Amino acid sequence: MNEYRHNSSEAIQRTQPGWFHPRRYYLNMLRKLIEYAIEKHIPNKNGILVDYGCGSMPYKTLFETKINSYLGADLSDNPAIDIKLDAQGKLNYADSAADILLSTQVLEHVDDPELYLQESHRILKNDGLLLLTTHGYWMFHPDPNDFWRWTSSGLKKVVERNGFEVVDFRGIIGRPAMGLQLFQDGLMFNLPSPIKQIFIFIMQIFIHLFDKVTKQETKNTDACTFLVVARAKK
């Protein structure tokens, strides 16, 4: 088991990254994107949420006042899970039983994205809510695999093709800032420790500043990470 990706300090790093964290800006923007989705699309307390590919469940506390039950589902090497996946990645969970399906940064890692979306659709009630984030541009990062990257059009198409109606779509981190993030990631692994930390600190400030030049509507078509909010239609 990979301890790092499933422990609670990893969860804190994801929601409150430190000043020298190489993904500081991205992780802050991703947390805000999920907060935006909760605020806009979950007005009332709303039953059962299944976090499919939950890892350390870093966003669990954000949902505290919005749901009655939070169930984590992941591969069998994750000790924190409530629902174990079978060998194909299917959920051991009833049809049409969940109100919300949360999927944060999982779709690029699954062997078969269509099967993953069909499973998400199967366990959601009619009109149940899918909140899914995944990468547009990003470096290779296996967990335990890394198979896919999405364009905005391709992501909408694959979600709709599997029984969902897309009701909101939003991107974070546009091309100029993302170019800098990839530049940082291309160099940082070769730098000695103190220089690396200073380099990351400066790069993260520039990434933040450069992201301000890109309009939100441009990010919605071309970005580091996309949020899809969709309703299961049955």
Interface residues with ligand SAM (CB under 6 A) are 14, 52-56, 58, 74-75, 85, 89, 104-106, 109-111, 116, 143
C-alpha 75/C-alpha 9 separation (Å) is 20
Smaller CB distance to ligand SAM: residue 109 or 170?
A: 109
Q: Quick one: 69 or 218, whose CB is closer to ligand SAM?
A: 69
Nearer to ligand SAM, 87 or 94 (CB): 87
Q: How far is the CB of 145 from ligand SAM (least distance, A)?
A: 7
CB of 104 to ligand SAM, least distance (A): 3
CB of 175 to ligand SAM, least distance (A): 23
Considering beta carbons, is residue 214 or 230 the nearer one to ligand SAM? 230
- Closest residue to ligand SAM in the complex (CB): 55
* Omega before residue 43 within 30° of 0, cis: no
Closer CB to ligand SAM, 138 or 210, in the complex: 138
- Least Å distance, CB 194 to ligand SAM, is 28
CB of 61 to ligand SAM, least distance (A): 13
Instruction: Say how far apart CA 73 and CA 83 lie, in whole Å.
Output: 5
